[in-house]
Amino acid sequence: MTLDISFSKAPLKKVDAAVICFYKGKEPSPPVSSLNYEVKGFIDHVLEKSKSFTGGFGQAELLMLPEDAPYSYVILLGCGDKDEIDNIKAEKLGGKLVAALDGKNIEGFEFFVDNDLIDAGEVAVHIATGAVLRAYKFEQYKSKNEEKDEDELKKKNLAKVHFVLFDTTRAKDLYAKESCVIEGICLARDLVNEPPNALYPDAYAKRIKTHLKPLGVEVEILDEKKMKKLGMGALLAVGQGSDNAPRMVIMRWRGDKPSNDAPLAFVGKGVTFDTGGISLKPGAGMEEMKMDMGGSASVVGLISALAARKAKVNVVGIVGLVENMPSARAYRPADIITSYSGKTIEVLNTDAEGRLVLADALEYVQDVYKPNLVIDLATLTGAIVVALGHEYCGTFVSDETLWGQLEHAGKDTGEALWRMPLDKVWKEEMEGTITDVQNMSKSRAAGSCTAAGFLWHFIEEGTAWAHMDIAGTAWIKKDKDIVPKYGTGFGVRILERFVAQNYEQS
Ligand code: BES
Ligand code: MG
Ligand code: ZN
């Protein structure tokens, strides 16, 4: 984690800057007056003069303080309407604040929380969450000190954020849980940002084990031999063109050991690089296909979050890890393959590989663990990006209650879903002419819906199922308030909340 977060009732005064909040119309939050007193009215003076700062939502004005002041800087943070501050807004504030301080040579700040807010502790925790999520950086491949001039080298990165508020107990309790989720999100982001030559299936599987085992998760890795024996012909076909052999990883978190209920199942597409295979993708932008394991990364991040906070629930996560490469050994269009359950599939396009990987993973998890609920995450179709862009995750759901629960968790976490139609028409469209099913429809229409229709063939009757096509949300090329560009970790937050809200008694 990039930021050290702490809480106390009194200010430390050992950091570079103090953050004080203003509401719309420059209305100061209560802590402003004491700081203003310490700096002999300097803040009042600046506020009066400033034409740009209005207290509008997300404004952050950095002021240098006189030499005898307790901090080098004060940051005026505009919080907008006081009555409108909710958790999502608080996170955005934290994110905007961190973004505004980027490159400003500030190593730490303390944030004076308005204790008059209805739940100041909760607000503080969400500001902290937004700050940490925005401050995330993926820098392990930058060699240190490379071609930086001396001034650049002396610049300090933001590392410490301290909150000053009365109800530190509430804030600390909440943050202890939230930080587990943040870690899961950052883990998912790291995995997505890794290059495909470092994160090929075997390396990925080992990394999952290294990370999750210490958290108490049982991790089982299936290698090619085991998968062959089990008859996972669909996943194996996708992987057969690569020198990097495929893996399947099964993660079990049993936080509710006495329960006999079937576990909740989460399934992730983990194509560590998608060239398209023999149905090769165009070269431009192909490098982005390192994110084609985004679904699996979110499943790993989710299990990590649940295990880290010792969630009282039983879940199983399963990810199919393969590299889709063209080669003399690669599977080809027209090949007929047989999935785990025995269904035959005609391959019409080797670039429609994600659904093949999911077919085996979905069938296997249902066969072995008999879950009542299955949720899969996959960067499955370019068509979902065309339809919904990068703001909404297209979600296909077989069950009304499940949709209600997911939508609710989405609204609470700010990870937005858009319900897509799951219609028998598309399931039928994926039936094969000479096989049971085929991996592409004859028409190009409704590409995300036909992909869901294909997956539906591998869902057992009576299983509540959601398919989240995260092709547009797993990877972004422009910063958002609490999500810096590239791997987003989308899915970890909403599903962690979904589990907490519906499957844990607290
Ligand atoms: N991994 C891609 C989908 C994708 C596209 C993810 C853009 C992220 C951004 C998937 O394997 C794929 O290639 N899908 C094809 C399916 C088609 C051949 C039926 C697509 O969307 O074009
Ligand atoms: Mg593909
Ligand atoms: Zn793919």
Q: Inform me whether the pLDDT recorded for 429 exceeds 80.
A: yes
Task: Give domain status of residue 141, yes or no.
Answer: yes
Distance separating the N- and C-terminal Cα atoms of the chain: 27
Note the pLDDT tens digit of each residue in 344-387.
Answer: 999 999 999 999 999 999 999 999 999 999 999 999 999 999 99
* Claim to verify: residue 226 and residue 119 sit in the same structural domain: no
Residue 308 to residues 108, 119, 120, 214, 377: CA-CA distances in angstroms? 27, 25, 25, 9, 21
Q: For the chain, percent helix, then strand, then coil, each to nearest 5?
A: 40, 20, 40
Task: Give domain status of residue 121, yes or no.
Answer: yes
Q: Inform me whether the pLDDT recorded for 211 exceeds 80.
A: yes
207 is catalytic: no
281 is catalytic: yes
Note the pLDDT tens digit of each residue in 449-500.
Answer: 999 999 999 999 999 999 999 999 999 999 999 999 999 999 999 999 999 9
The more confident residue out of 151 and 242 is 242
Q: Which of 60-74, 151-165, 198-212 has the lowest mean pLDDT?
A: 151-165
Domain count, the chain: 2
* Claim to verify: residue 225 and residue 159 sit in the same structural domain: no
* Claim to verify: residue 431 and residue 475 sit in the same structural domain: yes
For ligand 1, say whether the CB of 469 is within 6 Å of any of its atoms.
no
Q: Which of 134, 166, 198 is the last residue of a domain?
A: 166
Residues near 298 by beta carbon (within 8 Å), at least 6 away in sequence: 188, 268, 377, 470, 474, 489, 490, 491, 492, 495
* pTM over 0.95, yes/no: yes
* Claim to verify: residue 117 and residue 224 sit in the same structural domain: no
Residues in the chain: 506
Asked if residues 48 and 63 have their Cβ atoms less than 8 Å apart, the reply is no
Residues near 433 by beta carbon (within 8 Å), at least 6 away in sequence: 346
For ligand 1, say whether the CB of 78 is within 6 Å of any of its atoms.
no
Closest by Cα among 17, 7, 4, 57 to 182: 4
* Claim to verify: residue 144 and residue 89 sit in the same structural domain: yes
Closest by Cα among 240, 215, 189 to 317: 215
Q: Residue 102, SS3?
A: coil
Task: Give domain status of residue 491, yes or no.
Answer: yes
Q: Inform me whether the pLDDT recorded for 438 exceeds 60.
A: yes
Asked if residues 326 and 252 have their Cβ atoms less than 8 Å apart, the reply is no
Task: Give domain status of residue 361, yes or no.
Answer: yes
Q: Inform me whether the pLDDT recorded for 402 exceeds 60.
A: yes
Task: Give domain status of residue 176, yes or no.
Answer: no
Secondary structure element (H or E) that encloses residue 251, with its range: strand 247-254
Mean pLDDT of the chain: 96
* Claim to verify: residue 461 and residue 405 sit in the same structural domain: yes
From the list 96, 189, 309, 355, the catalytic residue is: 355
Task: Give domain status of residue 200, yes or no.
Answer: yes
For ligand 1, say whether the CB of 323 is within 6 Å of any of its atoms.
no
Q: Residue 130, SS3?
A: helix
Q: Which of 132, 166, 200 is the last residue of a domain?
A: 166
Q: Inform me whether the pLDDT recorded for 421 exceeds 90.
A: yes
Note the pLDDT tens digit of each residue in 274-299.
Answer: 999 999 999 999 999 999 999 999 99
Q: What is the CATH number of the domain that holds 304?
A: 3.40.630.10
Indicate the pLDDT class of residue 206, thresholds 50, 70 and 90.
very high
* Claim to verify: residue 123 and residue 209 sit in the same structural domain: no
Task: Point out which residues pair with 274 in neighbouring strands.
Answer: 324
Task: Give domain status of residue 486, yes or no.
Answer: yes
* Claim to verify: residue 160 and residue 194 sit in the same structural domain: no
Note the pLDDT tens digit of each residue in 138-174.
Answer: 999 999 766 666 666 667 899 999 999 999 999 999 9
Tokens of 117: 């807010």
* Domain carrying residue 132: 4-166
| The ligand 1 atom nearest the CA atom of 271 | 1
Q: What is the CATH number of the domain that holds 136?
A: 3.40.220.10
Note the pLDDT of residue 55: 95
Task: Give domain status of residue 419, yes or no.
Answer: yes
